[in-house]
């Protein structure tokens, strides 16, 4: 169905903004905006429908009461006005009027809800424009930095003990360039389905985060996997690093961050578990909102700070939704939190829950 359904906007000459309605919106923020507008419209429509049906029910009860033998045999005075109605015609009229009222209430509620949340959508559009501009401006200096690191690498002999460090810096600069390019694609709303092996990205993310884990005296353990997902390598690495970074930041010294992966119903379920004190001061579902912060459950240990920008998990959600997956807090409590990231298996048939 997807092919002909998605071609409807072009065939009818509809504006570009209607394309997302027929093709499915893979932009996380825009999809959230549309869901919020639809949810508000449905809620108001349900209330309006309940009110209309209540009025119709009262009218029907009154008519039926007037048709009782006692009311029909009641003696009326000369000043009374008598109106005779056919019950079939009355039932049809009530049905048509009530249906029209409910439909009007639903459409009006949906339009009002969209207007109400439109400023939020505009703010998100401005935010994406800023991300696109910032990413574009960072590309040139990062490219220059990468070129200089390559020059430095060429100046150091392979037998030099400093060569591995320079190689790591070279790899890190390439990762930065890829991340900036990926952010630019995300700002454009792109979501290309590129098959990527999860195992190598887990190994790379573990290597990247090993230094941070060591600094925080946290053990990092990952489980090998041969799963392949439909997410570009850079985006996949970003999501893993963001989840692991969040887990390390909220793990006590001596704790362990565990990363496991399993294929379930056409999706790869990636779980990142820490041994922190759990999410407090905010609903778990809200941790994926930009700039959302929970309440610290105690003083930082060993001088460590646990404050963040509140953007990392929002970027994880953006990548997951953009590529047909999702992310949520599977469990949180005083002994740890588990984040569940679900990404489509490459070439697999998926079943949504």
Residues 212-249: pLDDT tens digits?
999 999 999 999 899 999 988 888 988 999 999 999 99
How confident is the model at residue 3, as a pLDDT?
Answer: 42
CATH number, domain with residue 291: 3.30.565.10
Listed ranges 88-92, 96-100, 326-330; the one with the highest mean pLDDT: 326-330
pLDDT bracket for residue 201 (50, 70, 90): very high
Are 173 and 148 within one domain? Answer: yes
pLDDT confidence tier of residue 124, bands split at 50, 70 and 90: low
Please identify, among 157, 190, 223, the residue that sits at the C-terminal boundary of a domain: 190
Q: Which of 165, 190, 215 is the last residue of a domain?
A: 190
pLDDT-wise least confident of 205-209, 249-253, 299-303, 311-315: 299-303
Domain count along the chain: 2
> Based on the domain organization, do 97 and 141 belong to the same domain?
yes
Asked whether residue 177 falls in the same domain as residue 211, the answer is no
Does 349 map to a domain?
A: no
- pLDDT given for residue 93 in this prediction: 76
Which of the four pLDDT bands, split at 50, 70 and 90, describes residue 19? Answer: very low
Distances (CA, A) of 253 to 192, 217, 333: 39, 5, 18
Same-domain pairing of 48 and 168: yes
Q: Domain ends where: 159, 190, 221?
A: 190
pLDDT (tens digit, 9 = 90+) per residue, 44-80?
777 777 887 788 788 777 777 766 776 666 666 667 6
User: How far apart are alpha carbons 320 and 340 in whole angstroms?
Assistant: 11
* Domain co-membership, 183 together with 203: no
- In this structure, of 33-47, 154-168, 296-310, the range with the lowest mean pLDDT score is 296-310
Q: Say how far apart CA 314 and CA 127 lie, in whole Å.
A: 13
Q: Is residue 258 domain-shared with residue 159, that is, in the same domain?
A: no
DSSP codes joined into one string, 269-325: EEEEE--S----SS-GGGGGSTT-----SSPPGGG------S-HHHHHHHHHHHTT-
CA distances from 48 to 98, 118, 142 (A): 11, 23, 56
Range of the domain at 239: 195-344
CA angle 175, 180, 182 (to 5 degrees): 90
Closest CA to 187 of 126, 142, 247: 126
Same domain (yes/no): 146, 208: no
What pLDDT score does 289 carry?
82
pLDDT attached to residue 332: 93
Give the pLDDT score at 220.
94
Contact between 9 and 19 (Cβ < 8 Å) = yes
How many residues appear in the chain? 353
Angle between helices 28-66 and 312-322 (to 10 degrees): 70
Q: Kindly give the pairing relationship between strand 267-273 and strand 228-230.
A: unpaired
Q: Are 229 and 267 in contact (CB under 8 A)?
A: no
Most confident stretch, 107-116, 197-206, 340-349: 197-206
């Amino acid at each position: 169905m997807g092919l002909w359904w998605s071609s409807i906007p072009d065939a009818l000459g509809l504006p570009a903004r209607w394309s997302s309605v027929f093709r499915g919106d893979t932009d996380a923020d825009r999809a959230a905006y549309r869901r919020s507008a639809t949810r508000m419209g449905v809620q108001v429509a349900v209330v309006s429908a309940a009110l209309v049906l209540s009025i119709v029910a009262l009218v029907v009860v009154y008519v039926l009461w007037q048709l009782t033998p006692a009311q029909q045999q009641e003696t009326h005075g000369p000043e009374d006005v008598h109106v005779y109605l056919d019950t079939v015609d009355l039932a049809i009229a009530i049905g048509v009027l009530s249906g029209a009222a409910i439909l009007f209430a639903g459409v009006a509620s949906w339009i009002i809800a969209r207007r109400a949340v439109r400023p939020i959508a505009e703010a998100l559009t401005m935010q994406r424009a800023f991300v696109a501009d910032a990413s574009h401006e960072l590309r040139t200096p990062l490219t220059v930095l990468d070129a200089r690191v390559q020059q430095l690498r060429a100046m150091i002999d392979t037998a030099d003990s400093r060569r591995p460090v320079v190689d790591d810096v070279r790899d890190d600069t390439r990762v930065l360039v890829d991340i900036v390019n990926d952010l630019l694609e995300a700002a454009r709303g792109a979501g290309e389905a590129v098959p990527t092996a999860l195992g190598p990205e887990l190994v790379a993310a573990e290597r990247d985060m090993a230094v941070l884990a060591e600094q925080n005296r946290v053990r990092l353990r990952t489980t090998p996997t041969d799963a392949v997902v439909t997410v570009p390598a850079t985006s996949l690495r970003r999501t893993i690093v963001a989840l692991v970074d969040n887990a390390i930041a909220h793990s006590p010294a001596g704790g362990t961050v565990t990363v496991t992966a399993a294929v379930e119903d056409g999706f790869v379920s990636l779980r990142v578990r820490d041994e922190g004190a759990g999410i407090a001061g905010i609903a778990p579902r809200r941790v994926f909102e930009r700039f959302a912060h929970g309440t610290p459950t105690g003083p930082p240990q060993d001088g460590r700070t646990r404050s963040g920008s509140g953007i990392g998990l929002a970027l994880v959600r953006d990548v997951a939704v953009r590529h047909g997956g999702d992310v949520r807090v599977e469990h949180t409590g005083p002994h740890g939190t588990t984040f569940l990231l679900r990404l489509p298996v490459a070439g697999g048939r998926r079943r949504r829950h």
